[in-house]
Amino acid sequence: MKKITLLFLALFIFQSSTAQFWKKKQKQKPEITAATEKKKTGKIKDYNSVITKDAKTTSGLFKIHKVTDTYYFEVPNQLLNKDMLLVSKFAKVPEGLGGGYVNAGTETNTQMIFWDRFEDKLLIKVKSANSIANDSLPINISVKANNNDITLFSFDISAFSKDSTATVIDVTKFFATDVKAISGLSPRIREAYKVKNLDESRSFITYMKAFPLNIEILQDFTYNASKPSILENTESISVQMSQSLILLPENPMRPRYFDSRVGWFTLNKYDYSSTELKSDKKTYIRRWRLEPKDPEAYARGELVEPIKPIIYYLDPATPDNLRPYIKKGVEEWQKAFEVAGFKNAILAKDPPTKEEDPDFSPEDIRYSVIRYVASTTRNAIGPSISDPRTGEIIESDIIWYHNHLRSYRNRYLLETGAANPSARTLHTSDEEMGEMMQMVIAHEVGHALGFPHNMSASCAYNVEDYRKPNFTKLNGISASIMDYARFNYIAQPGDTNIRFIRQMGPYDAYAVNWGYRIIPNATTPEDEIPVLDQWILEKAGNPMYEFGKQSSNFNPYSQTEDISNNAMKASDYGIKNLKIVAQNLPEWTSSQTNNYEDLEELYGELLSVWSRYIGHVVTYVGGVDEIEKKPNQEGAIYSVIPKEKQKEAVSWLLKNVFSDQNWLVNPSLLNKFTPDEYAQKLLSYQKRHLNNLLSLERMSRLIDATYINSENYTLLELLTQTRNHIWSIQPKENSISERNLQKAYLNHLISIYENKDNTMKTELSDIKSLVYGQLLELKSYLKRVLNQVTHRETKYHVLESLNTIEKTLENKSK
């Protein structure tokens, strides 16, 4: 028994000691965690082993380190989950990329991003500010769940700063590889030029720079592409991209609500905090943040400088002789801002020298720049970048294309040359060209301040006012610089001291005041609404303060390139002037240059000018006037153009378009630069306007107008009036252009009758019936006049037209 007890004790001691041994071994083994696993694999390292003594460091929004060819961001923890903008722009492009409208300074993408920590990774996430809700409400949980942020890129954490307040990540791969969201090459560009891939052996990061509120990065990328825009044998596209990372304001600007009665670029939000039975759509205007240095003086009505003025720098590439006019174009807006209570609110400056600012770059998002682009494109644009939370404009680069002045020289000659002796030359004076550029820059600055086109501004003035020297000098040719009203084409030979070039107007100051004036005692956007509404009501009914949308294709009082409130009278004056110009065009061009290049170019543009005048009149037919109103204002928003005005427009078109226009097709002019297609050149314009006049959309509006009021101008009246004029068969002879137009008319009606565009508008409305009736009427008419025609070509034309109608009606009836 004693032996058994001793044996049991020995076994117990053995087992106990064995257990203690294994327990001790387990304690000695390191605990396996995510952090120790990272250390073991070497992914998170000691700071000094990553940011070595050889690192080149710049400090700003956060530190940037370059170690050999590797770039590191040291992101402060306090900046995690802070809203930033990531803006991508072209810094250099090959010739012809994007068809001429992609250039140095073109923004390709703007994304609101934030940095987020997940385990041992740092993420760049892209977020949307479109859907919002009060943080304290339960629905905010759903808003976030249904508007999930997108992870743009994931970075392994390389190290932590010595004091553990910042995270170090290697950003080389993100900025040195083809990340499509920041590459600049859209899917359309990639498809057009057959881009295969980024050639990393020919691509690199040029630099990274840190500034107090932003990071600037420059990349040189070369892509393999089968069909590049230039130098096809290289099968390559090389671009230089600029990436700007900017911290958005910690205290967002108070937004201002949009009102459709005043024109502004906008941003939309959907607020799910609303107590209504749906999300509340909120629309804010886009504007710069202007705050008075002296609020008390501002409140007393004194002019006060803003804390931070709007400053535009000239591109270093800008020719010296053009700089004064560009600066004046920017500062044209100073008087408008004075109406809003600010002086020196907007300034233009030369680019700083290397000594003044060695880091100045047009790509730096801290600077708004008037970019001067060496391109054959004839245009100018005024884009801007804004805070997607509030609409605050952060930066703007206005683009001026080098060849754009040639467009203005040409139109100055064509539209004003008859009444303006100084325009009758290919060598317009520097002062006049400078003033034209000044006003174009002012127009583009207007866009960059938040204003879209106001296409009704030129209809604020009466036709005859454009022939009065005092009126034109005081009021210019439009109530707003934001209209497309470039020159006074109404003034006639003999009118003296007339202003021909556009200028700022009363609407511009009104719109600046409405959007930029600080409203006393208002603490929320909602508080501002009664005052903003009152400002509009004070100007209601005055056409100088009305806003007309550019997108309208039915409103004759909101059109592009027109002037005055009566397009028929204005176009009469315009065409009288064009006829004088057409007669003198060789003397003003080829006789001076001893070549026909300018003559050919200007003749082609003369046809376009004539065509624009025609288009202005066409819009009256089936037209609807649109004047934005709120329910507290009397009257309709949409009003059908009166019947007599529409009949006047149709009569004008029949005379000035759908009749012989021999003055436009002058063989002694055309034989200098084209061997053929004289008649077809005119027909192409006539056909365009005929198809527009008899478009399905216009026909539908005419039917709708009759539905509203049977006394309105009808589609049947339009079809009958047009057919009777165009199909006037002359026994002796119809001219070639008359026969061509008749064929075009017949083909268009047959196309509508046969419903070749497969639209229900034709099949399920009076349109098909009325067109059918016109074909029957035309058939009957042609049969009656057939035996009276003696001219052989005209007779064959009538026979062929009859055959076409009969076949059409026969085939459709089967």
Residue 479 has pLDDT above 90, yes or no: yes
**Spatial distance between the Cα atoms of 353 and 360, rounded to a whole number of angstroms:** 8
State the pLDDT confidence band at 278, using cuts at 50, 70 and 90: low
Q: Which residue has the higher pLDDT, 713 or 380?
A: 713
**Spatial distance between the Cα atoms of 151 and 116, rounded to a whole number of angstroms:** 9
**Spatial distance between the Cα atoms of 454 and 507, rounded to a whole number of angstroms:** 9
> Which ranges constitute the DSSP H helices of 623-765?
643-656, 667-670, 678-693, 696-708, 715-726, 736-753, 760-763
Tokens of 519: 């409203």
pLDDT, position 41: 47
Residue 217 · residue 366 · CB < 8 Å: no
State the pLDDT confidence band at 35, using cuts at 50, 70 and 90: very low
Query: How many CA atoms does the CB half-sphere of 661 hold within 13 Å?
Result: 29
**Spatial distance between the Cα atoms of 415 and 487, rounded to a whole number of angstroms:** 7
Could you count the other beta carbons within 10 Å of the beta carbon of residue 625? 20
pLDDT, position 13: 40
**Spatial distance between the Cα atoms of 672 and 589, rounded to a whole number of angstroms:** 13
Residue 668 · residue 587 · CB < 8 Å: no
Share of the chain above pLDDT 90, in %: 73
Residue 596 · residue 512 · CB < 8 Å: no
Q: What is the mean pLDDT of the chain?
A: 90
State the pLDDT confidence band at 135, using cuts at 50, 70 and 90: confident
Tokens of 483: 């209209």
**Spatial distance between the Cα atoms of 152 and 112, rounded to a whole number of angstroms:** 11
Residue 327 DSSP code:
H
Query: How many CA atoms does the CB half-sphere of 766 hold within 13 Å?
Result: 14
Task: Burial-class residue 337 by CB neighbours within 10 Å (0-12, 13-18, 19+).
Answer: buried
- Whose tokens are 């499509």? That residue is 180
* DSSP 3-state of 544: helix
Residue 43 has pLDDT above 60, yes or no: yes
**Spatial distance between the Cα atoms of 452 and 265, rounded to a whole number of angstroms:** 6
Give pLDDT tens digits for 393-414: 999 999 888 888 899 999 999 9
Residue 147 has pLDDT above 80, yes or no: no
Instruction: Show the beta-strand stretches assigned E in 583-652.
Output: 624-626, 638-640
Task: Tell me which residue of 554, 564, 701, 664 sits closest to 619, measured CA to CA.
Answer: 554
Tokens of 256: 């201002």
Tokens of 638: 């949409």
pLDDT, position 773: 96
**Spatial distance between the Cα atoms of 625 and 800, rounded to a whole number of angstroms:** 42
Phi, psi of 645, rounded to the nearest 5 degrees: -70, -40
Task: Tell me which residue of 401, 453, 437 sits closest to 105, measured CA to CA.
Answer: 401
Predicted TM-score (pTM) above 0.95: no
Task: Tell me which residue of 321, 387, 327, 395 sits closest to 362, measured CA to CA.
Answer: 395
* DSSP 3-state of 403: coil
Beta bridge partners of 64: 58, 73
**Spatial distance between the Cα atoms of 478 and 459, rounded to a whole number of angstroms:** 7
- Whose tokens are 């994931």? That residue is 154
pLDDT, position 104: 83
Residue 626 · residue 637 · CB < 8 Å: yes
Residue 364 has pLDDT above 90, yes or no: no
Residue 688 has pLDDT above 60, yes or no: yes
State the pLDDT confidence band at 562, using cuts at 50, 70 and 90: very high
pLDDT, position 277: 63
Residue 66 · residue 77 · CB < 8 Å: no
pLDDT, position 219: 95
Residue 465 C-alpha from the chain's centroid:
32
- In this structure, of 14-28, 60-74, 224-238, 799-813, the range with the lowest mean pLDDT score is 14-28
Q: Which residue has the higher pLDDT, 16 or 743?
A: 743
**Spatial distance between the Cα atoms of 706 and 727, rounded to a whole number of angstroms:** 26
Tokens of 526: 């909602």
State the pLDDT confidence band at 739, using cuts at 50, 70 and 90: very high
**Spatial distance between the Cα atoms of 688 and 672, rounded to a whole number of angstroms:** 26
Q: Residues for the chain: how many in total?
A: 814
* DSSP 3-state of 335: helix
Residue 545 · residue 510 · CB < 8 Å: yes
pLDDT, position 5: 43
Query: How many CA atoms does the CB half-sphere of 415 hold within 13 Å?
Result: 28
Residue 113 · residue 128 · CB < 8 Å: no
pLDDT, position 145: 66
* DSSP 3-state of 347: strand
- In this structure, of 366-380, 406-420, 570-584, the range with the lowest mean pLDDT score is 366-380
The letter for the amino acid at 176 is: A
Which helix (H) or strand (E) element contains residue 433?
A: helix 430-449
- Whose tokens are 């000018």? That residue is 609
pLDDT, position 19: 44
**Spatial distance between the Cα atoms of 668 and 666, rounded to a whole number of angstroms:** 6
- Sign for the pseudo-dihedral over CA of 47, 48, 50, 51: positive
pLDDT, position 753: 92
pLDDT, position 359: 81
Give pLDDT tens digits for 95-130: 888 877 788 888 999 999 999 999 999 999 999 877
